[in-house]
Amino acid sequence: MARVAVVTGGTRGIGRAVCEQLRSDGFTVVANYAGNADAARAFSDDTGIPAYRFDVGDHQAATEACARIGEEVGPIDVVVNNAGITRDGTLLKMSYEDWNDVMRVNLGGCFTMAKACFPGMKERGWGRIVNIGSINGQAGQYGQVNYAAAKSGIHGFTKALAQEGARFNVTVNAIAPGYIDTDMVAAVPEPVLEKIVAKIPVGRLGHANEIARGVSFLCSEDAGFVTGSTMSINGGQHMY
């Protein structure tokens, strides 16, 4: 029986590419989405991958959804924490709600999904958790104190949980994408985007399937000795 993988924020952009890649790898894939039902229906119609609607930042909703997926699809062996939102603004203009919403979804979502799925992975003696961070969590970004803090927190969360899961064959890793040609980046004004691309040594934006291939490796049997790591896929924009 194929292992079950859940990809949060899985109906568009990087999430969709990850869903399609993991399915081609032989996983039974389930996508999560938060609000865009039309996009989710189109995704499921195109791919045949079921999409479950719930807020990853809502602990009870996420716990109940993971239990339902376990009953309807099968025990969850792989979680890809990809869901994320932005509420950009400088500190002086940022409201508490802007701060809290981003922390609740982007970082809190990693906690809720891991909390719901880690016990089963531990019991079965196999699991993969891949958290999608960001170059802006590594290097910071003007006007994104909330987003950068949440994504930076993901990297610390990954290292700590990796130590808890290691002896149970549950690996926990992160990927820090650079600027990828998704809808989120497409919303950046053209003059700003040109300046961003000028700082990327390879001279272009990344593609969602390039992130998906990194996730594919970290979810594979071949990556069993890789845990607590952050894979940077950013075209050389940030090296350390």
Which positions are annotated as active-site residues? 147
Query: What's the DSSP call for residue 166?
Result: G
User: Is there a contact between 218 and 162 (Cβ–Cβ < 8 Å)?
Assistant: no
Which H or E run contains 77? strand 76-81
Q: Which residues pair with 172 in a beta bridge?
A: 129
Asked if residue 116 lies in contact with residue 64, where contact means CB atoms within 8 angstroms, the answer is: no
Q: What is the DSSP string of 180-228?
A: BSSHHHHTS-HHHHHHHHHT-TTSS-B-HHHHHHHHHHHTSGGGTT--S
Q: How many degrees, rounded to 5, is the angle at CA 31 between CA 25 and CA 33?
A: 155
Count Cβ atoms below 10 Å from residue 68 Cβ, excluding itself.
12
Find the farthest-apart pair of alpha carbons in the chain and give their distance in angstroms, rounded: 53
